[in-house]
Structure 1
Amino acid sequence: MPIILKLATAALFTCLSLAAYGEKLRIVTEPWAPYVYEEHGSMQGLDYETTVIVFQRLGVEVQWQFLPWKRCLAMLDQGQADGALDIFHSHERDALLLYPSEPLSEVEFVLFYANERPHPAQSLEALRGLTVGTSPGYLYGTEFSDSTLFNREAAPSHEANFGKLMLGRIDLLITDRRVGQHVIKTLGLEGKVSQAPTVVSRQQQYLAVRRGAGMDLLVQRFAAELKRFKQEPAYTALSAKYGGIQAITGSGRTVEQQESSAR
């Protein structure tokens, strides 16, 4: 049997097995605008809408749930969720999770500081003795995570981190560049917060699922359909809608999208 037919058949059996038990694929994620978030009671975002389209094409129904990221990881560990959206690849998770060969997008972790207390750090060395706000369960790269030069202080949400920054309870915070820009706009902090020039790390984001019967073939089908969708005008339009977030191919090649003036 040709390999393409085998993959299609296996993916079909996976979908049928879920349907037979009246189940949907349970996917958890944390609000991570503009990649995935909820506004006016509706879920949206580049990676969310892309994933919805891909699963629709594969005939897979999905049940979505927003939770703090640490809780998302716990649900995966405990088998209470089938997968997670916008998760970074970690070798420590390979025994539990399967990752498609095609990532959804790429994030750039950068530092933000309050203009009233400027810390335009150009390297991690410049953070010596300072306190940096983080988010529980996030992977910022080994250089940042293993450094003993500065202190790290977690907050329950990105908005909370920016609140602590404005109150002077932390010196800087670390988050994705586009996420930070979105939160600054949402909280009305334009002109009050600036981004430091250094990029701490870059990470590719995936839709990963727990290992199980048929899941390895499902992620292969997901990767193939995702790669195909990225080449379509519909994806270009979707990317422009959310500010031209870069799409990363499986080979690591960046597909540049124009920044939209709408965001």
Structure 2
Amino acid sequence: MNPARRRMVGGFFIGLCAPAVLRAGQERWRLYAMEDFPPYSYMSGGRFQGIDVDILDRAAGALGVGLDYVALPWRRAILAFDNSPEDGLFQLTPTAERARKWRMVGPIRDTVIVAVTRVGAPFARGVRLEGLRGLRVGVVRGFTYFEAFDRADHFVREVSPDERVSLRKLVLGRVDVVLMGRANARHVIGGLGMDQALRVLPVPLFREGRYLAFHRNPVGLDRGRRLQRELERLHAGGTVSAILRRYGEDDDAG
């Protein structure tokens, strides 16, 4: 079993390392993440797993570091990270403000942002940012999508606590489109049984890397430097692409 595997969900640790692989005095890092965010991080079979978790586990294993994951609602995860100077936070959209404030590490992988619409809605293959003019757009409270979208004011944002609520609003006609990561959209729509009602537009609106952050203090800067080196090695060696393919998301890898 990977020595980096130990899980923590909702504030409670789930120890999954066999005693033989846990070394006395092993360096451990605590990382905050969004809970229930398939296929990137989610609970299944008593384990916190997913694309991002697998990538980070591989990088941490190469460093000889154990990872303790804390899965929380996104806004709580950010708040917990803000108050934990030695810890990390991942699945972050990069912004200039975050780069100034935190040591951003990555990308872990790319996210492809797409529009989800009702079947039969008057959209062809995709929608551009300008094409959202006058529409009601479903977003998640506390999410950063990409900077041009976050600054735009030519559409109405309909904020929801999570993407499941956004998609239910879409089915009910309370919003016109929902913005989501493509891989996450496929999983959530399938899980809700909405495949016949909703359509993921095939042409992406935007593609951008997702990052992990540490604080800009000696501990965070050192951890960021070491993790950055291993992530770059995993990308260059094809490991990240292989993990994405294992989850059926190879088209999101480049």
Structure 2 length normalisation: TM-score? 0.79
Cα separation, partners in 2 of 1:205 and 1:233, compared to 1, 3 Å: closer
What code does the residue aligned with 2:81 have? L
Cα separation, partners in 2 of 1:246 and 1:27, compared to 1, 3 Å: farther
**Secondary structure, counterpart of 2:204 in structure 1:** strand
Q: 2: CA distance between counterparts of 1:135 and 1:202?
A: 18
Q: Unaligned regions of 5+ residues in structure 2, if any? A: 1-23
**Secondary structure, counterpart of 1:34 in structure 2:** coil
Of 214, 224, 229 in structure 2, the residue corresponding to residue 224 of structure 1 is 229
Superposition CA RMSD, Å: 2.6
Of 190, 201, 204 in structure 1, the residue corresponding to residue 209 of structure 2 is 204
Q: Unaligned regions of 5+ residues in structure 1, if any? A: 1-18, 249-253, 255-263
Shift of 1:140: 2.1
Of 36, 51, 55 in structure 2, the residue corresponding to residue 50 of structure 1 is 55
Shift of 1:218: 2.1
CA contact (8 A) 1:68 1:156 kept: no
Of 33, 43, 59 in structure 2, the residue corresponding to residue 29 of structure 1 is 33
Shift of 1:25: 1.9
- Alignment of 1:66 onto 2:43: no
Shift of 1:49: 0.7
Cα separation, partners in 2 of 1:70 and 1:81, compared to 1, 3 Å: farther
Spell out, residue by residue over 1:125-149, the C-alpha distance to the aligned partner (whole angstroms, 9 max, x if none).
Answer: 4333321110122222233223222
- Equivalent residue pairs, number: 229
Residue equivalent to 2:97? 92
Spell out, residue by residue over 1:203-235, the C-alpha distance to the aligned partner (whole angstroms, 9 max, x if none).
Answer: 211122122223323222212222223344654
**Secondary structure, counterpart of 1:206 in structure 2:** strand
Residue equivalent to 1:115? 119
Q: 2: CA distance between counterparts of 1:235 and 1:144?
A: 27
- Alignment of 1:105 onto 2:109: yes
Cα separation, partners in 2 of 1:197 and 1:53, compared to 1, 3 Å: closer
CA contact (8 A) 2:93 2:210 kept: yes
**Secondary structure, counterpart of 2:201 in structure 1:** strand
Residue equivalent to 2:186? 181
Residue equivalent to 1:15? none
Residue equivalent to 1:11? none
Structure 1 length normalisation: TM-score? 0.76
CA contact (8 A) 2:241 2:250 kept: no
**Secondary structure, counterpart of 2:127 in structure 1:** coil
